[in-house]
Amino acid sequence: MFVQLIKPEFDELIANKDWVALKEVLNDVPAADIADLLLELEGDISVVVFRLLKKPIAADVFAELPSTKGVELLELFSKQQLSD
């Protein structure tokens, strides 16, 4: 439910590629809600959002994700590292 309330703000920040503001907003969102948000995002964008998280928060978010989404994120990380 919380995700549905904040998703329009996230969508706008993502559309504008305002990563600094998005990072600031994410600092105030519980890990479970960030996980729910990641489930609604496209693959590449979910990786960008995940990378904006501080490491302790990222670990908590990853623990909240279903295994399928966790595997998807890991695969996308691997693809990005290979292309870099």
How many domains are contained in the chain?
1
Q: Which CB contacts under 8 angstroms, 24+ apart, belong to 66-73? A: 66/39, 69/35, 69/38, 69/39, 72/43, 72/46, 73/38, 73/46, 73/47
Give the pTM. Answer: 0.83
Domain with 41 in it: 2-83
Per-residue tens of pLDDT for the chain, all 84 residues? 577 778 888 899 999 999 999 999 998 899 999 999 999 888 789 999 999 999 999 999 999 999 999 999 989 887 766 565
Structure tokens at 82: 């290979």
